[in-house]
Chains A and B, each alone.
Chain A
Amino acid sequence: MDLLGLVGSITMLNVIKFLLVVLLSVYSLFAMLMMRQIVAMTKAVAMRDDFVIRLLGTINFVFALMVLILAIFIL
């Protein structure tokens, strides 16, 4: 009965929120991998001003985390 009630209380918006949070979590992991790969590559080949690309990788990761937190709190 409780289970049925629980299932009944799940709305379409709950499902969308759940899917968004899962997607954004996976993307955050991907962004972290990307950041680590950039660090590994700039170690393999060091270039002038290559901090710029490391900075872009970090911005991508921070952006992904921010959107994930936003999704958890405002939805």
Chain B
Amino acid sequence: MSEATFLDATELVINMGPQHPSTHGVLRVILKLDGEKVNGTECVIGYLHRGVEKIGENRTYQQFAPYVDRMDYVASVSNGLGYCLAVEKLINVEAPPRAQAVRVILTELNRIASHLLWLGTHALDIGAITPVFYCLREREEVLKIFENYCGARLTTHAFRIGGLQYETYDGFEEEVKKFCDWFIPKVDEYEELLTNNRIWVGRLKGVGILSADECKEYGVTGPVLRAAGVAWDLRKAQPYSGYEQYDFDIPTAQNGDTYDRYTVRMEEMRQSTRIVRQAVDRIPSGPIMGKAPKVVKPPVGEAYVAIEAPKGELGYFIVSDNSTQPYRLRVRPPSFVNLQALDRMVRGGLVADVVAIIGTLDIVLGEVDR
């Protein structure tokens, strides 16, 4: 009798993480399995919760700026840009054109760096070891540019409210141009390794499909949404920092599967390079700081400002009570919202695909947990 019950019980609950290499941080996923099939999941998050929003309420506007770098730490420049834009909106200051151009260059370079880290680790999860070495090699060059610019590689704190802290260094333009010329053939190289690789295609095609309607229903943005066929990018839809001056395309795909998200991100790296090239060719001269006050004290009010971070829509909702500290500072993190769709994507699939799907969502747990 007991044996029969044992055989009848086909569902198995297993635990993945929080210390699991393919969760890219400390994410715990509880999986309900029927053999190899996934019948349901539950994400347990919060291991990296640091109370960033509470800290924001207890720091001045400038003091809080370095904290945002620690959320999505592989795209800290984007985080900084979003925060600076939100505060600038509240105090009605705009960064001068020169600062905007430098901001665009660094943010796009950071998008490339973020996508490279995603590509390397995603491929590694699936079993392709080589790309990660190539990707980290190229990412190193981006980080060197950051280091030369502001002294930091990861948590850059590259921008200031109102513009930039630092002028570009001597040879900045040449170095960036050199990187662009050198980088494009590298993307082709990755594609040669992966795009038509039978194992790669077999592991990714038709896996973890998320349709455009489902994306909107869950609030999923970024490359995941674009891979489902929606050509929506905040840089085009609601341009900021002068993105309207640059000529670039929004790469999309149709099926919304893991393979499409891969092709979309690959093309995004090329488009980012295109933007960087245009921006670096016409960095205007002039001041790098706008008329931002030394003590930032926005009038009573609130504003929501969002940018297209490498992972999707990154928004800051700030409420000011006319003091030097935000009354309420809310971060709308793309990773947190996108991770919510994980259950829908893995349900009904195979347990081996869970790893591929977590990889393709491109989450950073520092941002999920804040």
Do A and B assemble together?
A: no
**A interface residues (Cβ-Cβ under 8 A, vs B):** none
